[in-house]
Structure 1
Amino acid sequence: MAAPRKCPDELRERAIRMAVDLRRDPATKTGALRGDADQIGINPETLRNWVTQAEVDAGERSGTTSAEQARIDD
């Protein structure tokens, strides 16, 4: 059984969008996740994991998608 989520889905989605946008801009790429996480009030590693999983789900990175993992967990 998965642990309950501590952040609302809306916050997670907004944080991922902000981080991806910041990483696309070369001027803000370095430290983008840390600054974005601090601004939102979450751990930078949490945001990094969210962004990485979003990239896997979008097919931009190799790995197990959220849908595949949910099917495996069942």
Structure 2
Amino acid sequence: MARRYSDDFRRDAVRIATTGGLTRPQIAADIGVGVSTLNKWVQEHQNNDRMSGPH
């Protein structure tokens, strides 16, 4: 069964992945999620940023 993560947890993970000096595999291992999950969250965040910008 898939584990549910809070929006705050996801937001923090994306912030660390996009601004930190560590690799995504290192970050994923540190926070206890898979690399593909972290990559998906980053991609979703980037897509949301594009949709919320000026049109």
Percent pairwise identity: 26
Q: Which residue does 2:12 correspond to in 1? A: 14
RMSD: 2.0
TM-score, structure 2 as length reference: 0.76
Runs of 4+ in 1 over 2 A off after TM superposition: none
Query: Partner letter of residue 15 of structure 1?
Result: A
Which of 27, 33, 58 in structure 1 is aligned with 2:24?
33
Report the number of matched residues: 50
Structure 2, unmatched stretches of 5+, are: none
The farther-off stretch of 36-45 and 4-13 is 4-13
Looking at CA atoms only, which structure, 1 or 2, has the larger radius of gyration? 1
Using the alignment, how far apart are the partners of 1:58 and 1:17 within structure 2?
A: 13
Using the alignment, how far apart are the partners of 1:47 and 1:11 within structure 2?
A: 11
TM-score, structure 1 as length reference: 0.59
Q: Which has the higher contact order (CA 8 A, sep 6+)?
A: 2
Task: Tell me, yes or no, if structure 1 residue 57 matches structure 2 residue 54.
Answer: no
